[in-house]
Structure 1
């Protein structure tokens, strides 16, 4: 178990949903950390040294040791600071949480990224494909306050990508990817998120 004297530094970017995940987890755990804003168009020597394989944010530096990739970092945080656990203790529930986290990153995010830059029928097709994926998340939320159940958990932290990044993308591209009439459970979940102090503290402000 980590001690309060540990040095924790996060290499991230204010607008990155992957970076924000780590901020949420550290804040939830009450872990003091230094945030180092990175310019992804002019990558710093520290970022390149800390993540030589992918050369991407976020990177967590814990006592000088780098951990890369947001899902890996979240699990590392949960293993290191064991108060306020974000992953379930039950092995089956943990596996299920990992499944949904991968689904958000490898299916929903990948599909939603294609919406940006598309126009006309091509964009309509991508929006429809993204909505089909979101329907699975919508069903998973029925009868729950959060994807983690009654409290904020691993999947909720990962899926803030949908709650904040995707819904802000709607404003940029001018099309509603997650309309409330089609996804009432997702919108209810977002409302629940915004009532949490940890989310309010880490919610990305407009610049």
Structure 2
């Protein structure tokens, strides 16, 4: 791939929710970009030169400069392209609360999903209950920090938390199809309600990976963990 000065290039993998985050942000801001699908089993030398530390997608290249890690990329996009719609509010305290819950999702909720994916029997039952508990902490924290509002949207557009959470959580039905129910609506109704609202957003629908294709990939991954 020949690199052109000034262009925006996203190195990603179609099934990665972290890459979906970046695509959502770029589309929200109306930023033209080139997407490069990276073969994660045979990573290109160009990609590795852009992210030699973690060697993971996504990587955003802007003006020849590479930025790695999805949350870092989202903030870079927000700070570089200041046009509306905004991902984050202007008030520093409010911005800090958004960052806190985005980090909570990545550091507490995502690992809980991964534990379920690789577990069996009683261990899985325990892992599902653990996920429900951490989702409840998330629900209560969101309701306390953002009373009477939806922090997942900025007006009618997806906001920072909508991009971060929705890129992963809106695929929950594919996960249920592969390994069974892991998010119990009766136990976490607020979370399910928020996910449905995000999933009904046109931009989210068109950016998420195709459901059937994702189910096939997750099924193959799940079978490999159960051997």
Taking structure 2 as the reference length, the TM-score comes to 0.83
Match of residue 200 from structure 1? 205
Match status 1:169 vs 2:175: yes
- d(CA) in 1 for partners of 2:155 and 2:191? 15
Question: Using the alignment, how far apart are the partners of 1:161 and 1:198 within structure 2?
Answer: 11
Tell me what 1:116 maps to. 117
Q: CA deviation at 1:187?
A: 2.1
> Residues 36-75 of structure 1: matches in 2 within 5 Å?
36-75=36-75
Which structure has more helix as a fraction of its residues? 2
Matched length: 202
Rounded to whole Å, the distance in 1 between the matches of 2:20 and 2:59 is 12
Provide the C-alpha distance between the structure 2 equivalents of 1:120 and 1:9, rounded to a whole number of angstroms: 43
Which residue, 174, 183, 189 being the options, matches 2:194?
A: 189
Structure 2 CA distance for aligned equivalents of residues 144 and 68 of structure 1: 31
- Work out which of the residue numbers 181, 184, 199 in structure 2 matches 1:179: 184
Give the CA deviation at 1:29.
0.2
- Measure, in 2, the Cα distance between the counterparts of 1:144 and 1:112: 27
Cα offset, 1:8, TM superposition = 0.5
Q: Does 1:96 align with 2:109?
A: no
Unaligned runs of 5+ in 1: none
Q: Which runs of 5+ in 2 are unaligned?
A: 214-227
Residue aligning to 2:222: none
> Which shows bigger deviation, 30-39 or 145-154?
145-154
Cα deviation, 1:5-33, whole Å, max 9, x if unaligned, reads: 93001000111000000000000000011
